[in-house]
Each structure stands twice: as C-alpha cells, then as structure tokens.
A = this chain, B = another copy of it.
Amino acid sequence: MKFMDVHHDMKGITQAEMQAAHKADLAIEKDEGVHFERAWADPESGTVYCLSEAPSAEAVQRIHTRTGHPASEIHPVPLTV
C-alpha cells in the first residue's frame, strides 16, 4: 500500500540533509518491508512530503523514528493519478 507521510518540523532543511535522511531510511527500510520512493521538501515552511510503499503506517513510522525523524502525519493514499 502507498503512504504519504508529512513532516512539519524541517525548517531550513538542505538538499544534503534531505539526501542523508533518505539514505538512512533506505539503509534500514527492509526491516519493516517498507520502501521509501520519493520525497519533496519546502525548507521555508519546514514541510517534507515522503512517498512510500509499505505494509502499514506503523511500519513507516518505525523506520522514520529509528532514523531520528518521526513523521507528523502518515496517510494511506490508495488512489493515484
């Protein structure tokens, strides 16, 4: 199932920090059967959107928590265009 998780506390995030965070997630995502596909960041408002394929929202959150950036919201997104 696809999930979109949102972080609201990433003000000032840089491209390098975002890549490092994504790399940390990718390194352990298999432990929970998660795959983080893409992410988009607005450094000015501190918002990051993160698209994943995962068995549950809890699995997504366990990975993000272990890598030090738990999500503020996680939504299943069963519909896509």
Contacts and interface: CB of A to CB of B under 8 A. Distances in A.
Interface of A: 2, 4, 13-15, 18-19, 22, 38-45, 47, 49, 51, 75-81
A44 B80 contact: no
A18 B81 contact: yes
Given A4-B40, A4-B49, A40-B77, 20 more contacts: A4-B42, A13-B79, A15-B79, A18-B79, A19-B81, A38-B80, A38-B81, A40-B79, A40-B80, A41-B77, A41-B78, A41-B79, A42-B75, A42-B78, A42-B79, A43-B78, A43-B79, A44-B76, A47-B75, A49-B77
B81 A39 contact: yes
